[in-house]
């Protein structure tokens, strides 16, 4: 007699066979009886207006208003000396956008030129899809695109004048039947929409995503300006047949809009064949394989349960949903393995707080940086998913670009654009390489980092607090432009929220704001504090914590504050910099850094104020108040430069204004007085130990942070990524400080 398992197997085989044979039989009969409809007509053209043989002006193009051919280009507007010029150029034939069964994918690429007439250029131009035939819109700020009688349109605008509905005068935006953009991307500072540019615009009918990217021929080192928007119901936005083309206008302000080349390509997938008349067979064909899979699942449930963790399955599903809603690639693990030469040591770029980073190269020549999250690191699936969700929503020239991800078993990989000049700490803390960063480059790096943080705090779709700004998390591209990286610890807020609270304090010692390190309170001002410390490091070429460099002080912040008070701040400047030519700028930057690092969060400037102070030499700077941790001193008689890892001396910190609540016990064991004796070790990091709070006095045993530890992220709730916490102690004896 056959066993129950055998009968189940036979049943599965029978149903599976039917599930495959029925669709095959149905497909064969449908092929005999029906003819599958052809896809709609596609549109493809490629015009180079400097080559008359590539187009026929009267046959291919429709010029309206002031648009005209001007030698080797199409002039959308004329400069008549009076302004108020409006023109439009479009393809002379209708372009099929959709039919009853399918919708077009399209891509267009064009090179164009905006020639401003100084001193006040305006208003801008746009690429559009609208009803056919094309109808002129109003001039001025309407860009020849919109009027009260205009037909529905979808457009990408290149706006050069700030009207009352615009938030700036240099942006790329996506417009949906309105001159008020549905989404915009502002150009970086000191960059305007002028000169020769190249734009690519694509539409994916499956995702509904419209994406526009812009390159500047005069600034090849600047990354593409990208703006995107999801068209929720494209068929409700545009008619079946559309006109495609360009429009532009001027008001009182004047500029010229030239189209140099233009290519366009639309494609359709084959339409879905019509339904057959035998609906019962269709139902069986669909249900049978599902039923077979269901039975297979029941039979193999126990086996799967023993060999796979339920948590992993949930994580995979969560990742799938993140990826589906994002705009990057999911890479195959074997593909990444090959690109990095099996994660070889030769390809290793460095060791981050959550795992190593490797250089890789795909077959198409694309260079990548792969962040391989260690399975024993503090960054689990939550941080992995957080980093993907977050970076997918962020687009700024001073943020590192996430290309994609990979998750297979315990392997979790983040694939970033490769930064050829590694990270900032690779230069500023190296005796030889630091000379490559003169003052102008350092100032540009400071301003770039500040612009990136400002974007995170104010201009991104969500308010983002990074929580781990430090030199090793600032990457440098081939032009030494800074890019903020490592968003595994970042927190997302709505635009109306500015702070949060956590019991899981994570970050890097030396960069953490006092309210965050002691109470778990983090806010946009926490990032400002970290930026202040980072600016001091960039100016001085010294790490924030290093015993032998700061005399009486155990950190850079205290040392900088003392020099500032004594009027000797120039001594803080890196000797590799020629300080004589830029003394005023250096002094302002140190002043700004100390303003950022003030002890009380309310006293610190926000990032808008920081950027304003950095970019305006005429702005009067306030005098900074004392920073946090500035009283941390080492006795003069104990300022030996040598740190003995085997020392067992306790380090004591006294606070004259202690709180009534207890500090968390992070490591070690309690004695009868609720104080912790910390064993000596070679581990170099700062760990605040357990203490008992008294009314006006706290005694805290602290392991002092030395050079290497302050470059790695530490979870002070008890978890150090990648390693078990082993506190280290200085041999310098008691240290006394005031936390005010």
pLDDT for 167-179, tens place per residue?
777 899 999 988 8
**Helix, strand, or coil (residue 272):** coil
Q: How many CB atoms lie within 10 A of CB 488?
A: 28
Q: How confident is the model at residue 572 (pLDDT cuts 50, 70, 90)?
A: very high
Q: Read off the pLDDT band of 614 (50, 70, 90).
A: very high
Q: How many CA atoms lie within 13 A of 436 on its CB side?
A: 14
Specify whether the CB–CB gap between 370 and 357 falls below 8 A: yes
Average pLDDT over residues 518-538: 91
- Residue 383 is predicted with a pLDDT of 62
pLDDT at residue 299, rounded to an integer: 53
Domain 442-615 sits in CATH at 1.10.510.10
Say what the pLDDT of residue 525 is.
Answer: 94
| 654-681 average pLDDT score | 32
The predicted structure's pLDDT at residue 353: 61
Can you give the pLDDT at residue 282?
57
Residue 285: count of CB within 10 angstroms of its CB: 20
Of residues 544 and 433, more confidence is placed in 433
H/E stretch holding 198 reads strand 195-204
As a whole number, mean pLDDT of residues 79-87 equals 77
Decide yes or no: CATH 2.120.10.30 for domain 44-267.
Answer: no
Instruction: Check residue 402 and give its pLDDT.
Output: 83
Mean pLDDT of the chain: 74
Architecture of domain 311-417: 2-Layer Sandwich (3.30)
* 427 backbone dihedrals φ, ψ, rounded to 5°: -105, -55
Domain ranges of the chain: 4-36+277-307, 44-267, 311-417, 442-615, 631-740
Of residues 544 and 324, the one with the higher pLDDT is 544
Is residue 623 predicted with pLDDT exceeding 90? Answer: yes
Residue 707: is its pLDDT beyond 50?
no
pLDDT for 504: 54
Selecting among 468, 486, 527, 715, the annotated active-site residue is 468
Cβ count within 10 A of residue 103: 19
Q: Which of 538, 541, 511, 540 is nearest to 527 (CA)?
A: 511
Q: What is the pLDDT of residues 283-323, one digit of tens each?
A: 555 565 666 556 655 555 444 444 444 444 445 545 554 55
Highest mean pLDDT among 39-53, 318-332, 675-689: 39-53
The dihedral over CA atoms of 416, 419, 425, 428, expressed in degrees to the nearest 10, equals -160
Q: Where are the beta strands (DSSP E) in 35-123?
A: 44-48, 61-65, 68-70, 73-75, 86-91, 95-96, 105-117
Q: Say yes or no to pLDDT of 357 above 70.
A: yes
What's the whole-number mean pLDDT along residues 512-519? 84
What is the C-alpha to C-alpha distance for residues 121 and 113, in angstroms, rounded to an integer? 13
Distance CA 14, CA 338 (A): 42
Chain mean position to CA 381: 19
- Concerning whether 468 is annotated as a catalytic residue, the answer is yes
Partnered with residue 205 across adjacent β-strands are none
pLDDT greater at residue 726 or residue 73: 73
Phi-psi region of 295 (alpha: psi -120 to 50; beta: other; left: phi over 0): alpha
Strands 153-159 and 348-352: unpaired
Tens of pLDDT, residues 154-167: 999 999 888 777 77
Q: Strands, DSSP E only, in 36-85?
A: 44-48, 61-65, 68-70, 73-75
């Amino acid at each position: 007699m056959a066993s129950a398992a055998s009968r189940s197997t036979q049943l599965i085989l029978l149903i599976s066979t039917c599930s495959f044979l029925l669709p095959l039989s149905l497909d064969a009969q449908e092929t005999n009886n029906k003819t599958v409809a052809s896809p709609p007509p596609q549109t493809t053209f490629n015009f180079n207006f400097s080559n008359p043989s590539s187009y026929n002006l009267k046959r291919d193009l429709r010029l309206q208003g002031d648009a005209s051919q001007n030698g080797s280009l199409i002039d959308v507007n004329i400069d008549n000396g009076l302004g108020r010029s409006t023109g439009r150029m479009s393809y002379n034939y209708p372009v099929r956008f959709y039919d009853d069964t399918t919708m077009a994918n399209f891509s267009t690429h064009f090179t164009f030129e905006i020639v401003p007439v100084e001193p006040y250029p305006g208003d801008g131009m746009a690429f559009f899809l609208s009803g056919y035939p094309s109808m002129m819109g109003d001039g001025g700020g309407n860009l020849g695109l919109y009027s009260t009688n205009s037909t529905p349109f979808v457009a990408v605008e290149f706006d050069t004048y700030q009207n009352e509905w615009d938030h700036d005068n240099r942006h790329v935006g996506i417009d949906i039947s309105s001159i008020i953009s549905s989404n915009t991307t502002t150009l970086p500072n000191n960059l305007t929409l002028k000169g020769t540019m190249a734009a690519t615009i694509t539409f994916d009918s499956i995702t509904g995503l419209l994406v526009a990217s812009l390159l500047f021929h005069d600034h090849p080192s600047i990354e593409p300006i990208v703006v995107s928007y999801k068209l929720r119901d494209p068929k409700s936005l545009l008619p079946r047949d559309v006109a495609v083309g360009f429009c532009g206008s001027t008001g009182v302000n004047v500029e010229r809009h030239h189209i140099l080349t233009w290519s366009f390509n639309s494609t359709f997938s084959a339409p879905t064949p019509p339904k057959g008349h035998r609906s019962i067979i269709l139902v069986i064909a669909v249900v049978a394989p599902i039923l077979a899979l269901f039975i297979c699942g029941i039979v193999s449930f126990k086996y799967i349960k023993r060999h796979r963790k339920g948590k992993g399955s949930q994580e995979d599903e969560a990742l799938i949903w993140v990826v589906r809603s994002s705009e990057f690639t999911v890479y195959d693990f074997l593909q990444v393995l090959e690109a990095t030469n099996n994660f070889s040591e030769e390809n290793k770029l460095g060791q981050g707080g959550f795992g190593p980073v490797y250089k890789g190269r795909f077959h198409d020549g694309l260079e990548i940086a792969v962040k391989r999250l260690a399975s024993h690191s503090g960054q689990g699936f939550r941080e992995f998913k957080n980093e993907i969700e977050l970076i997918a929503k962020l687009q700024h020239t001073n943020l590192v670009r996430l290309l994609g991800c990979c998750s297979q078993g315990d392997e979790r990989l983040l694939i970033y654009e490769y930064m050829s000049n590694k990270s900032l700490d690779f230069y500023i803390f190296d005796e030889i390489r630091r000379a490559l960063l003169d003052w102008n480059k350092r100032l540009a790096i400071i301003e770039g980092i500040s612009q990136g943080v400002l974007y995170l705090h104010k201009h991104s779709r969500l308010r983002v607090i990074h929580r781990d700004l430090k030199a090793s998390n600032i990457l440098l591209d081939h032009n030494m432009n800074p890019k903020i990286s490592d968003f595994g610890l970042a927190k997302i807020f709505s635009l109306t929220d500015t702070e949060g609270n956590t019991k899981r304090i994570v970050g890097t010692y030396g960069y953490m704001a006092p309210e965050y390190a002691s109470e778990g309170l983090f806010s946009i001002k926490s990032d400002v504090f970290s930026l202040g410390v980072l600016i001091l490091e960039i100016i001085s070429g010294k790490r924030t914590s290093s015993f032998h460099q700061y005399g009486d002080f155990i950190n850079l912040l205290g040392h900088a504050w003392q020099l500032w008070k004594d009027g000797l701040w120039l001594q803080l400047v890196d000797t590799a910099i020629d300080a004589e030519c830029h003394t005023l700028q250096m002094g302002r930057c140190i002043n700004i850094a100390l303003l950022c690092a003030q002890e009380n969060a309310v006293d610190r400037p926000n990032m808008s104020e920081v950027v304003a102070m950095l970019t305006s030499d005429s702005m009067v700077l306030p005098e900074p108040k004392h920073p946090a941790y500035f009283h941390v001193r080492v006795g003069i008689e104990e300022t030996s430069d040598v740190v003995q890892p085997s020392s067992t001396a306790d380090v004591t910190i006294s606070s004259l204004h202690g709180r009534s609540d207890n500090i968390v016990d992070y490591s070690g064991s309690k004695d009868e007085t609720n104080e912790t004796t910390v064993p000596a070790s070679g581990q170099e990091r700062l760990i605040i130990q357990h203490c008992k709070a008294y009314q006006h006095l706290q005694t805290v045993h602290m392991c002092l942070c030395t050079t290497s530890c302050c470059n790695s992220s530490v979870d002070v709730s008890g978890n150090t990524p990648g390693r078990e916490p082993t506190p280290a102690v200085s041999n310098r004896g008691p240290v006394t400080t005031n936390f005010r």
